[in-house]
Amino acid sequence: MFHESSKYLLHYPGLNTAATKVASHNAVLLNKHLNVAPSLGDVPHDGELSPIHGLYDAGMLLHAGTYAIRHGFGGIVACFNGDDLGCDVKAVERILQAYQPGFEIATPMMHMGQRSVLEELGARRDDVKFVSCMIDFECGWCGKCKRNRRVHSEL
């Protein structure tokens, strides 16, 4: 689930402040540095549920890649799964490669569906936590909570 080669975790805080706390907990648990990204202004940082969120993801990915290049890294890992709307990762990668040839955006979870991600996270025994809700701890009504409820009912 967590790319072994990663040295730093980059978290984009959104409306759900619990997600930042969970990211901090996981970084300590995994012995990784956590960088909390600066605000991207009025751009929400979590979504993958509609085309506009796919556009926001493209902005976040470009920002993360620029951040990585600025700090001397040769690539980033993006944790989109196969059910996320996501964005055109290869297009963003090509933009970044214009500035740093060979820059890579790895998407190791793209072959997994949301169901597989939830099953794997649920099976972990190492206290790695996750929160998916866009608003709060499992608000129940945001787009991601509704999606996860649908996936859980199929498990």
SS3 for 74? coil
* Candidate segments 68-76, 94-102, 122-130, 140-148, binder of Zn ion by CB under 5 A: 140-148
Site for Zn ion (CB under 5 A): which residue of 139, 153, 154, 155? 139
Measured CA to CA, the distance from residue 12 to residue 10 in angstroms comes to: 7
Fill in the per-residue mask, 44 to 83: x = in contact with Zn ion (CB under 5 A), - = not in contact.
----------------------------------------
Instruction: Specify the pairing of strand 75-77 against strand 8-11.
Output: unpaired
Q: Which two tokens stand for residue 66?
A: 């620029």
* Residue ranges in 76-135 that form contacts with Zn ion under rule CB under 5 A: 133, 135
Q: Does 145 bind Zn ion (CB under 5 A)?
A: yes
Pairing of strands 33-36, 75-77: unpaired
- Interface segment toward Zn ion; rule CB under 5 A; list 23-31, 42-50, 64-72, 137-145: 137-145
Residues 6+ apart with CB under 8 A from 70: none
Least Å distance, CB 31 to Zn ion, is 30
142 binds Zn ion (CB under 5 A): yes
Other Cβ atoms within 10 Å of 153 Cβ, number: 7
Interface residues with Zn ion (CB under 5 A)?
A: 133, 135, 139, 142, 145
